[in-house]
Amino acid sequence: MKSVLAIARREVSAYLTNPMGWIILCGFVIMWGIFFTIMLFGYNQAAAEAVMNPFGADQMNVNDMVVSPLFGNMSVIAMLASPALAMRLIAEDRRNRSIELLLTSPVTSTQIVLGKFLGAIGFAAVLGATTLLYAGILMWLGEPDLGVLGANYLGFFLIFGTFLAAGLFASSLTENQVLALVLAFGFNLVIWIIGWVGSLLDEGKLKTTIEYISMLEHIEQMSKGVIQTQDLVYFVTFIGFFLFATVQRVEALRWR
């Protein structure tokens, strides 16, 4: 466990001593600010109109009109940002041979992969922490449902975690970081949009399966504040699958 945490801590500090980490952090903060402002002004306008229209007033809800769409947009940002975050995790180590320190130290491949993954999640937590500012603004101005807010944060981390696990696997496949980025983006896109394929199909087992694989299906309820076991299982399964595949890949590096 100590080794896992040491590797994770090293990864987080690597993000913070690397321009890429700061570029992603800045981009993330800016995007979140823009989306937040748009959502809030939209809500403000709708509220002003609702004063004239009593029928619309009972539709006004800060959870449905600001929190959920905000996190929905940020999931897309997570999909775009995670390959850039994950690409260096293993590929960089292989390129500059620092992987040999890990491979010749008394740590298992599982510990290496968990450490790398936790490090990436740790940086995602730094990103997430910057958004607490906006959550604070919402709580100051209105009364968002804390349950909904919490569920959205959980969803955000599960989505980010899944994408980062996919990116970590991509990073273990090649020494070339750009290739890892492209691969990771491909994985993410498949996970994200495969549901659209499903919606074109006729009812049947294939449709059910494809729709189950699609991430969109599983964040819908969570964004409304409903945490379902089946959705948690979905995310944990995906993260577990990619981590397992990465461990196999790192193990294979010892047998080149």
Which stretches of the chain bind another protein, using CB under 8 A?
Answer: 2-3, 6-7, 10, 13-14, 17-18, 96-108, 254-256
Least distance (Å) from another protein to the CB of residue 116? 13
Compute, in degrees rounded to 10, the torsion defined by CA atoms 147, 27, 29, 240.
30
Least distance (Å) from another protein to the CB of residue 249? 14
Q: Residue 67 contacts by C-beta under 8 Å, 6 or more apart in sequence?
A: 138, 144, 145, 148, 149, 152
Closest CA to 161 of 124, 131, 108, 129: 124
d(CA 203, CA 200): 9
In order of 44, 67, 187, the CA distances from 61 in angstroms are 11, 10, 35
Least distance (Å) from another protein to the CB of residue 129? 22
Least distance (Å) from another protein to the CB of residue 87? 16
> Which residue, 4 or 210, has its beta carbon nearer to another protein?
4
> Which residue, 117 or 134, has its beta carbon nearer to another protein?
117
> Which residue, 3 or 221, has its beta carbon nearer to another protein?
3
> Which residue, 17 or 229, has its beta carbon nearer to another protein?
17
Least distance (Å) from another protein to the CB of residue 102? 7
> Which residue, 103 or 190, has its beta carbon nearer to another protein?
103
d(CA 73, CA 196): 18
